[in-house]
Structure 1
Amino acid sequence: MKISIIKPGLLSTVQDLGRYRYLSQAVPVSGAMDELAHRLANKAVGNDDNDATIEFTYADASFKAETDILVAYSGDGAFLFYNDQVMPAEKPLFFPAGSVIKLIHNAIGVRTYLAIAGGWDVPDVMESKSTYLTADFGGFKGRILQKADVLIGGTTISEASQEILKELIHRSLTYPNWRISRESLLPEKRQNIRVVLGNEIGWFDAASIISFLTNSYTVDRRSNRMGYHLSGKPLVRKVKKELLSTAVTPGIIQVTGSGDLIILMADCQTTGGYPRIAHVAAVDLPLCAQLKPGNTIHFSEISSDEAEELFLEREQDLSLITTAISLKYIKT
């Protein structure tokens, strides 16, 4: 399966779930910003969750199917259009060779993930296909996608993908009558970001902690895949000492010297010297991934046990989705 890029969009890269085994060597995790949407797009075509997808940012992109293709998309950043008809998300879509597909921006979010049966075939770099643009490695030639780029799907296709393809293959667009309900896996209030208080919470005075958990913050224009800068009431430190550079991961919320907040995201550094006031619960990181400048959010505290329980519940739901698709298509 093969596509060619007609219009690449603002920032389109190949991503998987990231590279975690090289943090000690100062290599960021990278990977899909919205892991949930990435995983659901893969599940919809019978892929492994870690297979590479294309991450489109703000859409305004298009591509041509150079061969028959089986794809799926997920995320709040775009709608897929074919012949001026919007395509349903989170379900397998069969397009015949020659089809031109457009991604039109969805004002709700930022990022959209396109999976193809077998995953996108790009080299593994440090055990991951994720693009890390700062160092120019991973993904498709270590860079953003450009006009006329040709991307190929992997040749190893799962049994589920093969059965889905057999069901849908036709001379025209086809898709099944089922879809994965991404909405059921997300909280109703998407502006509420749940956090676990961090290691240096005691460095801030009581008024600042209350302010952090009650006031709203706005995402500003400096935000990118490395981190989101938030505008709001600055926090005041009661402990004036400096923090030795220490380990950080995506989801940590740092407080700068001026009292402003930064939510670290997929391409963040592996160590940092700003105090860590909190950490975004893993289940809410997909909400952060869809934030854009001007969006307003607020934080609510949960315990580490609650964050773990929420994570395990979602993982169980995702496992059930995989099982349901397997039972539907794989003969026993």
Structure 2
Amino acid sequence: MKVKILKPGILSTVQDLGRNFYRAQGIPSAGAMDSLSMRLANLSLANAIDAAVIEITYADVLLEAETDLLIAYSGGGAILYASDQVLPDNRPLFVPAGQNLAFRHHSSGSRTYLAIAGGWDVPIVLGSKSTYITGRFGGLMGRALKKQDSLKNANNLTTSTLRLLSHLKSTKISFPNWSIDKEHFMPLDKRMIRIVPGKEFTWFRADSLLNFLSASYTLSRDCNRMGYRFEGPLLQRSSQIELLSTAVAPGTVQVTHDGSLVLLMSDGQTTGGYPRIAQIAQVDLPLCGQLKPGDSIQFSAISRIEAEKLYMNRENELKKLAVALNMII
């Protein structure tokens, strides 16, 4: 299966769940900004849950099916069209050769994930296929996708994927009646982001902590895959202790010298010197991956144990989904 990029959009890259075992060497994780949508796109095809996908930012992408395709997409940033036909998300889609596919922007998010049967075939670098543009490695030659690029699938289809392909193969676009209910895996309030207080949480004044946990913060235009800067009440410290550069990770919320918030994301650095006021609960980090400039969020504190339980519950639900899909495919 093979596609040609006719229009790459603002930023389209190959990503998977990231390279998480080289942070001690200063190498960022990279990987999908919204790992939940990425995983649901793969599950729709009975792929391995960490198979490589294309992460599309703000849509405006046009592809040509050079061969017959079995694909799926998920995420709030775009709707997929074939001519004027809307193709539904979170389910497998058979697309015959020669068809053009257009991702058009949708206001509910910023990123969309395109999976293909078997995953996209790019080299594995340090245990991952994820693109890290700053380091110029991973993905397709360490860069964003460009016009006239061609990508093909990896030829390692599961038995369930082969059954899907056999069932849906046709002379026209086809897809099943079922779909994955993405809302089942998400909180009701998608603008309330749960956090675990960080190591330097108590370095801040009581009134600043009250603002942090009650006021709204708006994502500024200063945002990318490395991190987000938020506009809102500035936080003031009660202690002037200087922090030596220390470990940070995707989801770490830091407070800069002027009191503003910075949230590290997938391509963020591995160490930092700003106080760490909080860590985003892992289950809510995909919500942050869909934020757009101008979106507002609030923070709600939970314990580390609560965050772990929420994470394990979602992982168990995803495992149940994989089993259920294998039964119906």
User: By the TM > 0.5 criterion, same fold?
Assistant: yes
Query: How far apart are 1:47 and its partner, in Å?
Result: 0.4
Deviations 1:73-113 (A, max 9, x none): 00000000012111110000000000100000001110000
In 1, the alpha carbon distance for the partners of 2:195 and 2:86 equals 36
The one-character-per-residue Cα deviations of 1:95-132 (angstroms, maximum 9, x if unpaired) are 00001000000011100000000000000010100000
- Offset of 1:188 from its aligned partner? 1.4
Whichever residue aligns with residue 58 of structure 1, its letter is Y
1:194 aligns with 2:194: yes
**CA separation in 2, counterparts of 1:231 and 1:80?**
32
Structure 2 length as normaliser, TM-score?
A: 0.99
Deviations 1:166-194 (A, max 9, x none): 11001110001111110111111111101
* Aligned counterpart, 2:101: 101
* 3-state SS in 1 of match to 2:305: helix
Aligned residue identity for 1:61: V
What's 1:32 paired with?
32
Q: Return the alpha-carbon distance in structure 2 between the equivalents of residues 224 and 323 of structure 1.
A: 35
Percent identity between matched residues is 52
| Structure 2, unaligned runs of 5 or more | none
Q: Which residue of 2 aligns with 1:311?
A: 311
Q: 1:66 corresponds to which residue?
A: 66
Query: Which residue of structure 2 lines up, in the alignment, with residue 115 of structure 1?
Result: 115
Secondary structure of 1:211's aligned partner? helix
SS in 1 for 2:235: coil
- AA matched with 2:122: V
What code does the residue aligned with 1:252 have? T
The amino acid across from 2:217 in the alignment is: Y
Paired residue secondary structure (1:133): coil
State the alpha-carbon separation in 1 of the partners of residues 284 and 46 from structure 2: 25
Distance 1:155 1:92 in 2: 17
Q: Which residue of 1 aligns with 2:224?
A: 224
AA aligned to 1:213 is L
Aligned pair count reads 329
The amino acid across from 1:161 in the alignment is T
CA distance in 1, matches of 2:139, 2:306: 35
Alignment correspondent of 1:211 = 211
TM-score (norm 1): 0.98
3-state SS, counterpart of residue 5 of structure 1 = strand
Give the secondary-structure state (helix, strand or coil) at the position aligned to 1:305. Answer: helix
Q: Could you tell me which residue of structure 2 aligns to residue 6 of structure 1?
A: 6
CA–CA distance in 1 between the matches of 2:326 and 2:190?
Answer: 31
Aligned to 1:326: 326
CA distance in 2, matches of 1:228, 1:186: 21
1:214 aligned counterpart, secondary structure:
coil
1:1-332 correspondence to structure 2 within 5 Å:
1-329=1-329
* Deviation, structure 1 residue 41: 0.3
Structure 1: unaligned runs, 5 residues or longer: none
DSSP-derived class of the 1:259 partner? coil
Q: Deviations over 1:194-246 (max 9, x none)?
A: 11111001100111111100111110011110111001111001111210111
Give me the whole-angstrom Cα distance separating, in 2, the residues matched to 1:191 and 1:326.
Answer: 33
Deviation at 1:314, TM superposition (A): 0.7
Q: In 2, distance between residues paired with 1:238 and 1:302?
A: 22
**1:282-318 CA-partner distances (Å, limit 9, x unpaired):** 1101110000111111101111111111111111110
Name the SS of the counterpart of 1:176 in structure 2.
Answer: coil
Alignment RMSD (CA, Å): 0.6
Residues of 2 paired with 1:312 and 1:241: CA distance?
36
Q: Deviations over 1:41-75 (max 9, x none)?
A: 00001101111000000000110100000000000
